[in-house]
Amino acid sequence: MLKQARHTMIWLATAMMLMTGCQYDGVVADIQTEDAGSDTLAISFGDGVIDALLRTKAVTLLSDHTYTMGVWGWQTSKSGKVGRLFLNQEVTFNPELGRWTYSPQKYWDAGSSYRFYAYAPHSTKAGNVTVSIDQETGFISLAGVTLKGSNTMDTLAQPKPTGKFGSEDDIDWLIDRAGKIIPKEQIHGRVTFNLQHILAKFNVMVNTNKSFGSTGMLTLDSIVIGQFHRKADFTQQLNHTPSILEEADQAVTEWVIDTQSEPYSICSTKNLTVTEDDLCVIESLLVPQEITDSQTVQICYSIHPESGQTNRFVFTLNLNEAFGSIECSNNYTLHINLGPDIITFDAGTDVWNNEPASYEWIVTDSENLNLDY
């Protein structure tokens, strides 16, 4: 059933790419045209666009996620001489001006061509991460990426994931995989990057199932998922986001796990009243990795009937029953449907900014601890 659902998802993804690609290109072109209207001799940078593999008309700007980025740049003169303009230059967003700025200012040279590469946020935000670039290919590497299990829903569950990790300890790393090549005929104006997520996003949604009814209250005590590898190195191998449609992309290894690093678990919002309406209780980042038998989802919840006695349930799911692996740039959602007699799980995988495809199965062996407290 999982295999069949995955094939369905791939066909849907293909259709959506064909329908929405032109719309997306038009929106991005509008942004770049607007930026280019400021004709100046100074090299400047526009607000980056965050791109999903399955492209839609909804465009997310880099300044919605972070206020810093790192830039490399090279200039090729009319005589063919190559010189480096930017070496991991920190470029920052000023929300009052609505502009990205840097210092010292660099200037366009008539007759020269340029190429630029970017990532975000700038490495100064993470002292333990070293960022470098291959000058020939423009491929970017990040060494020492480390996650702690930050959850944007830690204190307040919301109806949907936010996709915003700017205030979290864990950093949502992005890179422009293709870079920007500026021929001599197109210099001036602003350089606008197109950045992609290189980690994976993991969401957990909860609600009550129909069998619960309205005879009492159900509270989620906690969900704990783990354990995950926390540290890895990234070396770019592709100039585009890896696609679930391309076997060659799936065969490429860009992340290398540090298996000696201490593993960690992700914890949900706690002591939450659950209703029939969906609530997101976990939204976290993950390093791409294989999922094994040792990684579990432990769910603790309580039912408080009107009679007054509290029944507490504990259920453990092997995470690899839902997902065999966590892949770069993908969005994983585990939907947990809670009740007194069965738990229903929907698990789906899709690209970062889209609703996940879904497969469903039913589990009946949750344990009722019958605790009165």
Domain parsing of the chain, residue ranges: 2-197, 200-230+262-368
- The Cα–Cα gap between 357 and 346 comes to 9
Q: What is the DSSP letter of 139?
A: -
Per-residue pLDDT at 49: 86
pLDDT tens series, the chain, 373 aa: 433 333 333 333 333 333 344 444 444 444 444 444 444 589 999 998 886 443 444 568 899 889 999 999 999 999 999 999 999 999 999 999 999 999 999 999 999 999 999 999 999 888 789 999 999 999 999 999 999 999 999 989 999 988 888 777 899 999 999 999 999 999 988 999 999 999 999 999 999 877 676 667 899 999 999 899 999 999 999 998 887 778 888 889 999 999 999 999 999 999 999 998 999 999 999 999 999 999 999 999 998 887 778 888 888 989 998 899 998 888 899 999 887 765 666 776 666 665 554 434 433 333 433 332 2
Topology (CATH) of 2-197: Immunoglobulin-like (2.60.40)
Per-residue pLDDT at 58: 52
Q: What is the DSSP letter of 262?
A: P
Per-residue pLDDT at 356: 52
The Cα angle at residue 336 between residues 163 and 266, in degrees rounded to 5: 55
Same fold, 2-197 and 200-230+262-368: yes
- The counts of H helices and E strands in the chain are 2, 28
**Which phi and psi (to 5°) does residue 32 adopt?**
-65, -35
- Among the listed residues 6, 25, 7, the one whose alpha carbon sits nearest the alpha carbon of residue 17: 25
What tokens were used for 357? 């495809």
Q: Name 320's Cβ contacts closer than 8 Å, sequence gap at least 6.
A: 291, 292, 293, 295
- The Cα–Cα gap between 317 and 294 comes to 10
Topology (CATH) of 200-230+262-368: Immunoglobulin-like (2.60.40)
The DSSP element (H or E) to which 205 belongs, if any, is strand 200-208
What tokens were used for 241? 């986001």
Please state whether beta strands 113-120 and 180-182 pair in parallel, antiparallel, or not at all (unpaired): antiparallel
The DSSP element (H or E) to which 95 belongs, if any, is none
> How many residues can be counted in the chain?
373
Structural contact between residues 364 and 71, judged by C-beta atoms closer than 8 angstroms: no
Per-residue pLDDT at 23: 47
What tokens were used for 136? 């020939």
What tokens were used for 49? 């666009």
Greatest CA separation found in the chain? 87
Q: ω into residue 95 within 30 of 0, thus cis?
A: no
- Among the listed residues 349, 347, 345, 228, the one whose alpha carbon sits nearest the alpha carbon of residue 285: 228
User: Residue 311 pairs with which residues in a beta bridge?
Assistant: 303
For the CA atoms of 2, 20, 201, 143, the dihedral, rounded to the nearest 10 degrees, stands at 120
